[in-house]
A and B are shown apart, each in its own frame.
Chain A
Amino acid sequence: MKEKSGRMIADQTVKYILFISAILSIIIVLAIAYFIFRESIQAWKEIGFTNIILKSVWRPGQDQYGILAMIVGSIAVTIGAIVLGVPLALGTAIFLGEIAPKGVQALLRPAVQLLAGIPSVVYGLFGMVVLVPIIRRINVPGNSGYGLLAASIVLAVMILPTITSIAEDAIRAVPDSYRSGSLALGATKWQTITKVVLPAGRSGIIAGIILGVGRALGETMAMIMVIGNSVKFPKPLTANPLTFYLSKARTLTGNIAVEISYATGIHESALFATGVVLFALIIIVNASARWFIKRQSSIPTTRQ
């Protein structure tokens, strides 16, 4: 009897310990939000919300802390990465999910997985040593090779595996009965993919792209290494608007990482304010991805 109650007490104790681990995630999320916001309060108070968000001059020496240039930098590089990376990622996902023979799948899928695992500093280094010298050859005055284009290309490769694997999962989740239904009606395999499979997997595919956006907005070190880190507002170098992407820039993430180790006082607080803006952007992006994932999982399946 005594032994038994000892076992029961152990059972209960373990349960409470496990419960605490389970809610630790909640505590961490709240702590992250709390500390980043707390440290940024001074900046919001003394500089003002609009002066931070809408001013584009960042000069810590003169107490000017506008981050609009970095917001634009982050968005521009994300758009660039999406434009370059999404078609390739979706193509690869369709190829893996619908077209590739088994042997090719067995080669390509681990390759995509490996692409996801390569450290961002390695991508950054590859960008510095290989991409930047190539881009530098584009004959435009003021083009150093470092800038939005180099950053967009590096980032496109970095978000490729995220989007590919989520989109492939969404494609594979489409019931086979849809495919056989379409093929039996005399549709070609390609028509089946574009008219039935992709529409049915749409929500999951969109969620993959949005999560790719989230990754792109959050990437730090590789961006610092190839984007040039200029605090100036990015502008086209010549009359040709395309040269905008040859302009140096800085991302929100880069702004934090480059300056946090030596910043103090209001400067440090302004960097935390940058973090708050980034945090808010990411929360919005991830929430919308989650919404699409919910929709995907609610499609009725009539698997045979």
Chain B
Amino acid sequence: MINNKSISTLHNDPESLKNLKIRSTTQNVWFSIMWLAGLVTLIILLLVIGYVIIQGGKALSWEFLTTPPRGGLSGEGGISTTLGTTVYLVALTLLIATPLGVGAAIYLIEYAGELGLTSPVMRVLISIANFAVETLAGIPSIIYGLFGYALFVSTLQFGWSLLSAALAGACLVLPTIIRTTEEALLTVPDDYRRGSLALGATKWQTLYKVVLPAAIPGIITGIILSVGRIISETAVFFVTLGGSHRLPSSIMDGGRTLALHLYYLAMDTNAFDKAMGTGAVLVILIILINLSINLISGKLTARIRGGK
């Protein structure tokens, strides 16, 4: 009773069969091209990372990491002071940007909504503030560099220094911290807030004791992202940090970060091997940063799915 002959269509007319064949062939061709696109993207990544790590790896040694660069045109020495400068700059920048960014996000998410319709001036101000955060996120880093140069280096006479660079860098990472903190706050369920307020806690006590702890993983993600941004950034610090290869002894001293050092080695010396070595260190740092972000956000999604 069962007609078991293998057929591909019910409309057995040749026209319909042909059309089906053309469509499935078209799909196969395009799907192959899309697979290829994904593959090419992966290959580009592996090529860049692989090349830098393998070629740069040759220059890597304990000595390379622990001796200071000697300066000069031949690019002698290691990268110890530039590692130190990078750490100083990351710390100082985040010290400035984190409280401001987290504070801004708390206000924009937790307070701006409650203003309600009562204060049109405030509502306009809040929407301008949101617009400003978006604008900041889109401004290219060299513009931050120019701004830092004009305001901190020249007008305020901080000169080429850690302070100038950190202030300019803080402006650069501010939108990142604000946005990730906002997202983290939005994932905290409203029940937490109502529960705490109902017990007679003030708004700030509720935020500090209940909401912020729940948002911590998201906030940390934003901070780690910012660390990556500062480590990678060159244009801003190129015009605000100077280029001294010595370790800064105060926040008014200049210096050079790893990324800046790579740039100077590549452009002003012929020590491409050392530049590659520095590049390898940078790439490894960025991989570690990405891994830790994925780890945290993985835990976060697990908690959201598992909890409540």
Contact = CB atoms under 8 A, between A and B. Distances in A.
The answer to whether A binds B is yes
Interface string A102-129: 0010011011111101111111111011
A211 B266 contact: no
A28 B132 contact: yes
Interface in A257-294: 257, 260-261, 271-272, 275, 278-279, 282-283, 285-286, 289-290
Contacts, number: 268
Interface residues of A, number: 89
A256 B294 CA distance: 36
B138 A214 contact: yes
Contact of B283 (A8, A17, A36, A122): A122
Interface string B61-104: 00000000000000000000000000000000000000111011
A44 B109 CA distance: 42
A11 B208 CA distance: 11
A92 interface: yes
B32 to A, nearest CB: 10
A21 B174 CA distance: 10
Grouping DSSP codes into helix (H, G, I), strand (E, B) and loop, the B interface class, with mixed when no group exceeds half, is helix
A105 to B, nearest CB: 9
Most interface-central of A32, A130, A290 (chain B CB within 10 A): A32
Interface string A203-230: 0000000010011011111001100000
B187 interface: no
A125 B234 contact: no
B163 interface: no
Nearest to A21: B103
Given A121-B266, A125-B262, A125-B266, A26 B128 contact: yes
Interface string A229-263: 00000000000000000000000010011001100
A138 B230 CA distance: 37
A124 B29 CA distance: 35
Given A23-B125, A290-B134, A94 B283 contact: no
Interface string A61-93: 000000000000000000000000001101110
B48 A29 contact: no
A117 B289 contact: yes
A122 B132 contact: no
Given A32-B147, A220-B141, A25 B41 contact: no
Given A15-B204, A91-B33, A125-B52, 10 more contacts: A18-B103, A21-B107, A25-B104, A25-B129, A31-B147, A90-B37, A122-B262, A221-B234, A257-B238, A279-B139
Interface of B: 23-24, 26-27, 30-31, 33-38, 40-42, 44-45, 48-49, 51-52, 55, 99-101, 103-104, 106-108, 111-112, 125-126, 128-129, 132-136, 138-147, 149-151, 155, 171, 174-175, 178, 202-205, 228, 231-235, 238-239, 259-260, 262-263, 266-267, 272, 275-276, 279, 282-283, 286-287, 289-290, 294
Which 4 residue pairs spanning A and B have beta carbons closest together?
A218-B140, A91-B37, A21-B103, A119-B232
